[in-house]
Amino acid sequence: MANDYYAALGVARDATGEEIKRSYRKLARELHPDVNPDPETQERFKEVTAAYEVLSDPEKRQMYDLGADPRSPGGAGPFGPGAGGFGFGDIMDAFFGGQQSRGPKSRVRRGQDALIKVTIDLPDAAFGVVKEIQVDTALVCTTCTGTGAAPGEQPVECSMCHGRGEIQSVQRSFLGQVMTSRPCPQCQGFGSVITHPCAECSGDGRVRTRRTLKVKIPAGIDDGTRIQLSGEGEVGPGGGPAGDLYVEVTTRAHPVFQRRGDDLHCSITLPMTVAALGTVLPLETLDGTEDIEIRPGTQPGHVVTLKARGVPHLRSSGRGDLLVHMDVATPTKLDARQEELLREFASIRGEESAQGTFESPEKDGLFSRLRDAFSAR
């Protein structure tokens, strides 16, 4: 029978869509012109293709079952009259075992990752701390347990796509009629519709809330480092698995110390007399008070290093150093008595008309000291 599409595919009239597609694939592999160029076989291939075009589309199949032929008056396909509707997706499915019908997408999806920033002080970054943070997130709705439907209700099959989640349509092109699929506009591709959504979550399966978490910040963490908390992000739609929470740590500027790697740096300005005579000055470090010895004759740019008084190494044992940079302040305003004493001092040292000593920058002079000072930073 020329227009008996069920007979052309060799399936029963109550065959499912999957059975129709399986039969079509089998016949297409056997009858395609590239496989069997016999003219009679090509005509049979056209009949099979036309039958599949109608029976694979729920709307066209319904028209055919009611006695109408959706293909009339017909159109020329890529292999002659009556071959329209053979889409590239179906060719790929038939010969390369291409993708099965995608089917409805799941309402259960993974939640999004979240990022929150935490600011800490330098001592906390050095020695570690446990911080409490508040996070605005999404949790599973306890009323519907993530289904999105009201208690006692369940999602029902979509009446437009009949649970497939997609709608197929045939479009004409220079290659004939090409079958395309798109998500069902009524169920958004889920294949089902929530007719009675949960009043608590409005059908989303999750609710917004704020919760408090404790975050352990390790000793030695650097500015800008992110800590990953697996499964502490938002719960996904439909009660899906939660995403991850990332905590980005930033450090406040310290009034005395500046961090460079795991070393700490600070500077101290000494009066000229103290630099010349030397002294001992207390310095409040991260570990407590340390005495800094200022040796007599200390020059600008001199660096005193306190070993293992810096920041602990994050992924290994040990600590960085604390480097104290010296600067010497020369007095700019002198009274008569002070100027007299300085001139007397210069006379004693034979420096009344002393000239500066010009040296190569490669020698241990001003430039060398400046270079060493900057390299120590």
How much is the pLDDT for 36? 72
Is 331 within the bounds of a domain?
yes
Q: Are residues 241 and 303 in the same domain?
A: no
pTM (2 decimals)?
0.61
Q: Are residues 18 and 86 in the same domain?
A: yes
Contact 280, 147 (CB under 8 A): no
How much is the pLDDT for 259? 96
Is 106 within the bounds of a domain?
no
Q: Are residues 19 and 121 in the same domain?
A: no
Q: Chain centroid to CA 154: how far?
A: 34
Single out the residue in 227, 251, 275 at which a domain terminates.
Answer: 251
Q: Are residues 307 and 270 in the same domain?
A: yes
How much is the pLDDT for 195? 92
Q: Are residues 45 and 120 in the same domain?
A: no
Q: Which domain CATH number covers 49?
A: 1.10.287.110
Is 333 within the bounds of a domain?
yes
Cα–Cα dist 82/105, whole Å: 34
Q: Are residues 38 and 56 in the same domain?
A: yes
Q: Are residues 40 and 23 in the same domain?
A: yes
Tokens of 140: 């599973």
Question: What are the pLDDT tens digits along the chain (377 aa)?
Answer: 346 888 888 888 888 888 888 888 888 878 776 667 777 877 888 888 888 888 888 888 887 777 777 776 543 333 333 334 444 444 444 444 444 456 788 888 899 999 999 999 999 999 999 999 999 999 999 999 888 999 999 899 999 888 888 888 777 666 666 777 888 999 989 999 999 999 999 988 999 999 999 999 999 999 999 999 999 999 998 888 999 999 999 999 999 999 999 999 999 999 999 999 999 999 999 999 999 999 999 999 999 999 999 999 998 999 999 999 999 999 988 999 999 999 898 888 888 776 667 776 655 555 455 555 555 54
Contact 95, 29 (CB under 8 A): yes
Is 189 within the bounds of a domain?
no
Sign of CA dihedral 80, 86, 88, 94: negative
How much is the pLDDT for 176? 63
Single out the residue in 236, 251, 266 at which a domain terminates.
Answer: 251
Q: Are residues 336 and 222 in the same domain?
A: no
Q: Are residues 146 and 241 in the same domain?
A: yes
Is 30 within the bounds of a domain?
yes
The structural domain count of the chain equals 3
Q: Are residues 23 and 71 in the same domain?
A: yes
Single out the residue in 219, 236, 251 at which a domain terminates.
Answer: 251
Which neighbouring-strand residues pair with 76? 81
Q: Are residues 22 and 151 in the same domain?
A: no
Phi/psi of residue 375, each to 5°?
Answer: -70, -25
Domain of residue 129 covers: 114-155+194-251
Q: Which domain CATH number covers 347?
A: 2.60.260.20
Question: Among all chains, which residue has been given the structure tokens 């019908």?
Answer: 101
Q: Are residues 284 and 365 in the same domain?
A: yes
